[in-house]
Structure formats: structure tokens, C-alpha cells
């Protein structure tokens, strides 16, 4: 296969990769640089989050806070109003519409620089540093190879991992999250177990209940917690000063949570809403996270993250209403329990052994299928994507000790095994959670993508401005 050259190669064409490409096209407009974006699918900007054509899948953030460009907060709302004038900043619109918006944003940016942008459909298997740290070779599963001076990893979430080991027989009963085609092939009366009770699980539940069907659906998680609802409020959250009630470093997670609960109670006593307290905390979460020791971070992930997530990542009001209506039908139940074992029955069903929370005795549940919605995997290890494993083996990537992704510096450069930044290798996407914690939603990711593009453009401009150096002999 032929080898191609490019100045910048972006791995992944979801939200983060698409927005990074847009900002790079603008930031390097005066430079003769080529930008190549490699994505497994031909459609760019959609990723896992926005590729569904099901309009029942809606954003969990109001339109007024979903602009791809932080400096133009009304950008997405204006796009929506060009389609439906009734949409306003407080509207919760479909993810399909947002994917269409991102595609248009990219098309607009590329139309101004068509000769500098190239989209390639394919899967990146390997990224190897060239000798003398002078760029990278990027190998695709198709056999194509690229030489790139800079590589931006913009890979999103890894698929959820199943909590138990699966053999060939039990694996046949498990449907991956977002595999709506497999869900559609289930019999109308097929009983289903959804493992997880977060946003992905709610998406699966809504898809499985699009028509009036006689099936029973059980949603299982260790705590049985469902996402809290947004309120109808068209105003974006305010940006304020650091909440002094939290105190300064060194911080302990138990103390932080106690002070946060006290602040919520004080706010409620004065007629306020607990959501305001979390909204005001949001811009300062990276500072808090970085002030925690590794021990305190692990304590939070072990004991408190489930409670944090259901309050921080909320459902759109209409989604919450629909969920509550389904729970009232008695055909949908939420079960706080731990999955213990699974066995294939002679009747062609799967027998699930589980232990309900707070009980010693195990129970069994018979289902026709399981939908795995345990949440995206952040950990990088033996079961990770092949590219991540290869980068670890080549000492170009250091996994987060908390299992939240990978380590970067404050310029978005990957940290290698020796503890130093890897020149020319960058990351943007939800695995920034390891450093910033608050890094999986559009309002934060759009800023990270812009800052990475600006930093990369600055480095490229500085290199092009340097006089040529004679080669050593």
C-alpha cells in the first residue's frame, strides 16, 4: 500500500476530532499545512453520541449551552431556528439534529480551505514514533500508511465492559450499548435485563419501549440510582468565583462532600435549587480534582461517584417524564443489586444470579437478552483498543492510575513512560477526565479542542519561522 504524508493527522472524527479540525483550519489559515482526519465511519462529527437517527434520543443539555464555539453561544440555537423557529435556548433537541449541526460546521470550515483538509474512512491500528522524534508513522487496518509531523488522538469512549467473564454461549445473549439493530430483532415479548441505570441505560430503555410491547424490562445497577432531571430553565449556568465554602488544599473527599451537602441545604432553606449549587461548582471542578491526592481520588471513585453522576449529569425534563411514566407501568423495574453469575437454561433463556443491595441471599432472574449499559470504559489496559495498547507498549502513553484514561500535560501532549511529554503526540476527548474530571460534555470539550488547536498552531508557526539548520555530518 502507498504511504501518504500530512502535517497533522487526527485520529477520530466525533465531536472532539471534528472540532479540533475546524479550529486547526482557522488557526493555521496562513500556513501551507495539510490536515488529515481518519474516522471509522464516513459521517464526521457524529461519533457514538450523535449518530442515531432516532429522534427519541435527545440531548441532556439545553440548546443554549451546546454551541460548538464558546465565543458564539447562540451559534447552535440559530442553526436550530433555521429549521424550527420555535426552538429556543432552553429547548432540548434531538442528538440527530446536533450531529447534522456538527457536519455543517465542518463543511463550512473545509469549504474555505478545501485543499488543506482530507477525510479518510478507516481504523488506525498503530502510531509509531519516527527516529530522532521527527514525526510518526500511522498504520491503518486497511494497510494504508501515513507519515505525520503531529498526531492528535481524538478517540472517544471505549465500549462498556461486561462485569462478568463471558463464554461463547452467554455472549450470544448480550447486546452492546447503542446496538439498536440487535434490540430491534428481539421478540416483542422478550424479557430484557439492562445492566446500568445511567444515561446509556435510559437510551436503551427508550428504544426498547418505542412501541407498546408486553415485555418486562429490568434495569440493574449496584445502587439503583437514576439520573436526576433538569428543570425547565432557559438560562445558562452562571460563572462565579471559586466557592470559598469548599476550602483550600489539601482537600479530603469526605470533607468536600459534607461541605457541599451543607451548602445545598443552606441554598434550599433560602428558596434555592440544588442544581444552582452544582452549576456554580462546575467551572471549578478541575481545580478541585487536581487538588486531591491519588488516595482521595480513588476514594471518591469507589464510594461517591455514582451519587455525583446522577446529580451532575441530568436528564432532559421530557426524558425524565417519559422515564417516570414507564416506571409506573409495572413493566419496567429498577433493581439495586450486584450481578453474580449467568447460566444458559434449557428453555433458551439466561438465568441471572444476583444479590439485591442490602441482602445476603441471592436471587435468580430469567431473561431473554441483556443490554450492557455499564458505562463507557475509561481504563487503558489489556482489554483496551488496540491502538492504546500499542502506544503503551511503545512507551508513548501512560495510563491514568485512577483508570480514567491517559496522562497529558497542560498543553494536551501525551506523557510517555519516562514521565516526559511526547513531542508531536496530542490528545483531546473524554479521557481528559483523568486530568480535568469535568471533560466529557460539550461546554468543556469545545474549549479543550480550541486550546489544543491554538497550541499546536503556535508550535507549527514557531517551527516554520526558524531558519533552516545545516545537517550534522
Task: Render pLDDT for 126-173 as a digit per residue (tens, 0 to 9).
Answer: 999 998 778 999 999 999 999 999 999 999 888 888 999 999 999 999
Q: Are residues 249 and 326 in the same domain?
A: no
Is 83 inside a domain boundary?
no
Does residue 423 share a domain with residue 392? yes
Q: What is the reported pLDDT for 1?
A: 58
pTM of the model: 0.92
In a domain, 54, yes or no: yes
Domain edge (last residue) among 290, 312, 334: 312
* Same domain membership, residue 356 and residue 260: no
Instruction: Choose the final residue of a domain: 312, 341, 359.
Output: 312
Task: Quote the pLDDT of residue 185.
Answer: 93
* 250 and 283 part of one domain: yes
Q: Do residues 308 and 320 share a domain?
A: no
Which pLDDT does position 236 carry in this prediction? 63
Residue spans of beta strands (DSSP E) within 368-470: 369-372, 413-415, 421-427
Separation of alpha carbons 217 and 205, rounded Å = 8
The predicted pLDDT at position 473 comes to: 22
Q: Say if 324 falls within a structural domain.
A: yes
15 in a structural domain: yes
**Domain count along the chain:** 3
Residues 261 and 338 in one domain: no
204-255, pLDDT tens digit by residue?
Answer: 999 999 876 778 999 999 999 999 999 876 566 667 788 889 888 788 999 9
d(CA 364, CA 290): 43
Q: Name the DSSP class of 432.
A: G
Q: Give the CATH number of the domain where residue 333 resides.
A: 3.50.50.60
In this structure, the answer to whether residues 189 and 150 fall within a common structural domain is no
Q: Which portions of the chain are predicted below pLDDT 70?
A: 1-2, 212, 233-238, 464-473
Same-domain check for residues 203 and 290: no
- Are 149 and 53 part of one and the same domain? yes
Confirm whether 172 is domain-assigned: yes
Q: How far apart are CA 200 and CA 157, in angstroms?
A: 12
CA angle 153, 125, 135 (to 5 degrees): 55
Do 275 and 396 fall within a single domain? no
223 occurs within a structural domain: yes
Last residue of a domain, one of 312, 327, 349: 312
In a domain? residue 89: no
Please spell the DSSP secondary structure of 366-388, one letter per residue.
EESEEEE-S--B---STTS-HHH
**Burial class, 206, CB count within 10 angstroms (exposed 0-12 / middle 13-18 / buried 19+):** middle
Query: Which domain, by its residues, includes 387?
Result: 3-58+94-158+378-465
Q: Are residues 390 and 453 in the same domain?
A: yes
What's the pLDDT at 235?
A: 63
One domain, residues 10 and 117: yes
Residue 350, domain member (yes or no): yes
Amino acid at each position: 500500500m502507498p504511504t501518504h504524508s500530512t502535517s497533522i493527522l487526527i485520529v477520530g472524527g466525533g465531536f472532539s476530532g471534528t472540532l479540533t479540525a475546524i479550529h486547526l483550519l482557522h488557526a493555521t489559515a496562513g500556513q501551507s499545512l495539510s490536515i488529515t482526519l481518519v474516522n471509522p465511519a464516513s459521517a464526521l462529527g457524529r461519533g457514538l453520541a450523535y449518530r442515531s437517527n432516532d429522534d427519541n434520543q435527545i440531548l441532556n443539555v439545553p440548546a443554549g449551552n451546546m454551541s460548538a464555539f464558546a465565543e458564539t453561544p447562540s451559534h447552535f440555537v440559530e442553526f436550530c431556528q433555521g429549521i424550527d423557529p420555535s426552538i429556543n435556548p432552553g429547548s432540548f433537541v434531538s442528538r440527530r439534529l446536533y450531529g447534522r449541526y456538527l457536519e455543517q460546521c465542518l463543511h463550512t470550515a473545509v469549504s474555505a480551505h478545501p485543499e488543506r483538509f482530507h477525510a479518510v474512512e478507516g481504523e488506525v491500528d498503530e502510531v509509531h514514533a519516527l527516529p530522532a522524534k521527527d514525526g510518526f508513522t500511522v498504520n491503518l487496518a486497511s494497510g494504508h500508511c501515513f507519515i505525520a509531523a503531529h498526531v492528535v488522538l481524538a478517540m472517544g469512549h471505549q465500549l462498556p465492559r461486561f462485569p462478568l467473564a463471558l463464554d461463547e454461549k452467554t455472549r450470544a445473549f448480550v447486546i452492546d450499548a447503542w446496538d439498536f439493530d440487535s434490540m430491534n430483532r428481539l421478540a416483542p415479548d422478550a424479557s430484557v435485563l439492562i445492566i446500568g441505570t445511567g444515561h446509556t441505560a435510559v437510551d436503551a430503555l427508550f428504544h426498547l419501549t418505542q412501541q407498546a410491547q408486553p415485555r418486562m424490562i429490568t434495569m440493574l445497577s449496584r445502587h439503583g440510582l437514576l439520573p436526576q432531571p433538569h428543570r425547565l430553565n432557559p438560562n445558562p449556568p452562571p460563572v462565579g468565583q471559586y466557592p470559598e465554602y469548599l476550602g483550600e488544599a489539601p482537600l479530603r473527599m469526605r470533607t468536600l462532600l459534607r461541605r457541599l451537602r451543607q451548602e445545598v441545604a443552606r441554598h434550599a432553606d433560602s428558596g434555592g435549587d440544588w442544581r444552582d449549587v452544582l452549576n456554580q461548582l462546575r467551572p471549578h471542578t478541575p481545580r478541585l480534582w487536581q487538588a486531591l491526592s491519588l488516595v482521595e481520588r480513588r476514594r471518591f471513585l469507589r464510594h461517591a461517584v455514582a451519587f455525583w453522576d446522577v446529580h451532575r449529569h441530568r436528564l432532559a425534563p421530557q426524558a425524565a417524564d417519559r422515564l417516570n411514566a414507564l416506571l409506573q407501568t409495572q413493566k419496567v423495574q429498577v433493581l439495586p443489586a450486584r450481578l453474580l453469575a449467568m447460566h444458559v437454561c434449557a428453555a433458551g433463556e439466561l438465568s441471572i444470579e444476583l444479590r439485591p443491595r442490602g441482602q445476603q441471599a441471592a436471587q435468580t432472574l430469567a431473561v431473554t437478552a441483556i443490554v450492557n449499559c455499564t458505562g463507557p470504559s475509561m481504563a487503558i489496559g489489556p482489554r483496551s483498543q488496540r491502538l492504546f495498547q500499542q502506544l503503551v507498549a511503545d512507551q508513548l502513553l501512560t495510563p491514568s492510575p485512577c483508570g480514567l484514561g491517559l496522562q497529558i500535560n497542560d498543553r494536551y501532549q501525551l506523557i510517555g513512560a519516562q514521565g516526559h511529554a511526547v513531542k508531536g503526540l496530542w490528545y483531546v476527548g473524554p479521557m481528559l477526565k483523568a486530568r480535568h474530571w469535568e471533560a466529557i460534555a460539550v461546554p468543556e470539550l469545545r474549549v479543550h479542542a480550541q486550546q489544543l488547536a491554538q497550541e499546536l498552531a503556535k508550535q507549527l508557526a514557531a517551527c516554520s519561522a526558524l531558519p533552516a539548520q545545516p545537517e550534522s555530518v
